[in-house]
Structure 1
Amino acid sequence: MRIDTHQHVVPPRYADWMRDKGIRPGGIDLPAWSESSALKFMDGHGIRTGILSLSTPGVYFGDVTEARSWAREINEYCADVVTRRPDRFGFFATLTLPDVEGALAEAAYALDELHADGIVLLANNDGRYLGDPTFAPLLDFLHRRSVAVFVHPGELPAPEVPGIPTFTADFLLDTTRTAISLILSGSMDRYADIKFILAHAGGFVPYIAYRILLTMLNAKNKVQQLWALVDQKHQVPKHLAVLRQFYYDIALSASPAALPSLLEVADPDHITYGSDFPFAPAAAVGFINKQYENYKLSPALRTAIDRGNSETLFPRLKV
């Protein structure tokens, strides 16, 4: 029975707020959600526990007071769901970025009072990615608390392409941008105790791992090391070790095309199961699950992805 680290919640009042604003997250209509519908979905897809998170666009729309109020309401709503069914649900707490002061206060409240399983952060917040120095106080707090941080994409700070929903490709680029931002800013070194979980198999990160390597070398003015990499292939894994610090969920990404890249880059202990329900309807999840179940993995790795790796991240869910 799987632990789903990428399952969303859409509280009724929040849904009304989004509809009043005319927001279609990812370019699609906001899906309906209820505790009972989530349980029905989970029972039909071999999921024991879903760790709930708010998806894009989060709660910040330029009004700090409004964002703080909504973050508190959503976190308390999620905590109530978990209190009723702690075996079936967990939650990542919503914060108020780019409002760092509010984010720090809400993170402390959610972790200490509501016993959140972790934190969800959007990949970009008002156009700023997570390696931005203004977010350093929050990252330092999360590092000192060794928090699991689920990184979910948002809308790119760029115009949409007519006719192409933003979830199709923009979301993947947004996650990729923030991963590179965390690497190049040195945040992965300074805040190494944060357990970052990248949505959707890390976006394009596995596929462009060597481009990221070249960017890292270029940023350090070490392009001359390229010849050494050619002659000493063992140096490549050393330089790419930072990518193995990330965790990656397989939500909507467990395909025969995507899995080989992910398995080449990710630490086997750092891959978790994800569904993306309810933004991904049950039929879509079933289709992707079938690809995943038919892919040749060792029994030990499949067990680790389905449950074991998440049990290590979230010990309270261990059975």
Structure 2
Amino acid sequence: MIDCHAHYLSPRIFDRDLRSLKVVFHPAAKRFEFPGGTSRPVPDALTDLDTRSSWTEVNDIELQVLSPWMDLIGDDLPRQDAVAWCRLLNDTTASDIDPLAGFRAFAALPVGDGPAAAAELARTVETMAFVGGAIPSQVAGTDLDEANLDPLFEAAVSLDIPLFIHPFRVMAPQRLQRYFLNNVCGVPFDTTVAALQLFFSGAMDRWPGLKLVLAHCGGALPFIAGRARQASRVSPAIDRAVETPGEILGRFYYDTMLHDPQALGFAASKVGVGRMVVGTDAPFPMQIEPVVDHLHRAFADLPKDPDPFPMVTQTTPRNLLGLG
């Protein structure tokens, strides 16, 4: 199968001199410091491709697409530093995965500058083993529909590759500090908000060929698209009427990062297996395993024409990523 949601940081970056980039690495704490704050400690598993290769083999994953750890995306860096930082993340990742058949990557992008993000996307896709780009669900507190990302979207359409939306900052962080709710609620809910902002802002209409993959199965989107449709009919805040929930759901792709198989099965029935790809969130503790068993349980009650399992694990991701 092909896993479209996993993360990696090259250990090569620990040895680089980052002082000119306004990024500081604290080796004892294994944390990176950015202008807006300090990251969480870098997990050892995030930098270990040998262990990852063994894990993917056990879980029948033939190809894993590695995204940057969004904590380190550097969306609050000044433009020039953000460009250099993302290039460093991408170049070190490329050096690690180029010799390996089992990995590709989504590029880190300097999303604070749309044209620069577009240029980095083109550079990585055209010259290295990258099959798309990864962007946060908000850019240093600015919503995606107001972040001047049209140059990036234009580039993604021109290159015919996807952008993977994965949260880093989340809404209402003060309310979500306890009980790990920043992850349990904040991450999927911020994805939901970003998707609906892009849809209702008209971004998806301006770029009809844009392929956006939503992490964590789109958050709550498969479950509240009907509510969004009703809101489009009754609220003056929305200037377009949505006829069916599928009109919203059909504009995005979704990974399988739902921990309840029945909920995942419902989501698949709403968005369609032609819009769903495998996502494991490896190597973090919230990752789903064993992957194959989870998917079979999720798809057990779905129609078998087409068969959901090969569609989600092979056909849809191959079409999405241009792998044939």
The two structures have a TM-score, normalised by structure 2, of 0.83
Which of these residues, 243, 247, 250, is aligned with residue 249 of structure 2? 243
Equivalent in the alignment of 2:22? none
Mapped to 1, the partners of 2:146 and 2:268 lie a distance apart of 29
CA contact (8 A) 2:66 2:104 kept: yes
CA contact (8 A) 1:3 1:306 kept: yes
Mapped to 2, the partners of 1:91 and 1:171 lie a distance apart of 21
RMSD: 2.6
Listed one character per residue, the Cα deviations across residues 39-63 of structure 1 (whole Å, up to 9, x for unaligned) are: 0110111100000111222122333
Is 1:83 the equivalent of 2:98?
Answer: yes
CA contact (8 A) 2:9 2:93 kept: no
Q: Which runs of 5+ in 1 are unaligned?
A: 226-234
Which of these residues, 82, 86, 102, is aligned with residue 71 of structure 1? 86
Is 1:262 the equivalent of 2:276?
Answer: no
**How is 1:17-166 mapped onto 2 (pairs within 5 angstroms)?**
19-21=31-33, 22-24=38-40, 31-57=45-71, 58-85=73-100, 87-132=101-146, 134-160=148-174, 161-165=176-180, 166=182
Q: Percent identity?
A: 24
Is 1:273 the equivalent of 2:274?
Answer: no
Listed one character per residue, the Cα deviations across residues 271-314 of structure 1 (whole Å, up to 9, x for unaligned) are: 10111001236xx5225653332230437211111111111122
Higher RCO, Cα 8 Å, sep 6+: 1
Q: Classify the secondary structure of the residue corresponding to 1:258.
A: helix
Count of residues in correspondence between the two structures = 299
Q: Classify the secondary structure of the residue corresponding to 1:119.
A: strand
Instruction: Report the CA distance shift for 1:104/1:221 in structure 2 as closer, same or farther (over 3 A).
Output: closer
Equivalent in the alignment of 2:321? 314
CA contact (8 A) 1:198 1:249 kept: yes
Listed one character per residue, the Cα deviations across residues 234-253 of structure 1 (whole Å, up to 9, x for unaligned) are: x954x6323112110002x1
Shift, 1:115, TM fit: 4.7
Instruction: Report the CA distance shift for 1:256/1:270 in structure 2 as closer, same or farther (over 3 A).
Output: same
Q: Classify the secondary structure of the residue corresponding to 1:248.
A: strand
Q: Classify the secondary structure of the residue corresponding to 2:165.
A: strand
Q: Which runs of 5+ in 2 are unaligned?
A: 15-24
